[in-house]
Amino acid sequence: MKTDFSTAYTAVSNALDSCGIGHDLQTRFNAATDAITAFCCDLQRRATNQLLYDLTTNVPCGILDHEQATGPHAIRAAIAGAVGSLVKWDITEALEIAADIAEDVNAHSEAAQIRAIASA
């Protein structure tokens, strides 16, 4: 099914409105890309800090072994922290993102359960 321009434009406009981004398309685009850039920079900072913390604290203390102190571990911790910051630690918003992740990996019934919890 092909989405027409008007439907797509309306959907994008509504999504940007919900984020408080202005009505001028260029302003909206710039604000959206600025938000994306800030999120990616925060994610990189958090992942780097987690990896350094793992190597300097968690491994020497025996919390992690050296095989667990990896990029993927640091990235997972960074994603969790960055998402929490993105939604300003709002539990309902965090659960909605968790449901989106479940949907992305085709765990549709689990996503529905998460959304039910979020709306309770």
- Dump pLDDT digits (tens) for 72-86: 999 999 999 999 999
pTM of the predicted structure, to 2 decimals: 0.70
Position 11 confidence tier, pLDDT thresholds 50, 70, 90: confident
pLDDT at 1 over 60: no
pLDDT-above-90 percentage for the chain: 64
Percent of residues, the chain, with pLDDT higher than 70: 95
pLDDT band for 22, please (50, 70, 90 cuts): low
State both tokens at 10.
């309306």
Query: What is the chain's mean pLDDT, rounded?
Result: 89
pLDDT for 41: 94
Please give the pLDDT value at position 49: 96
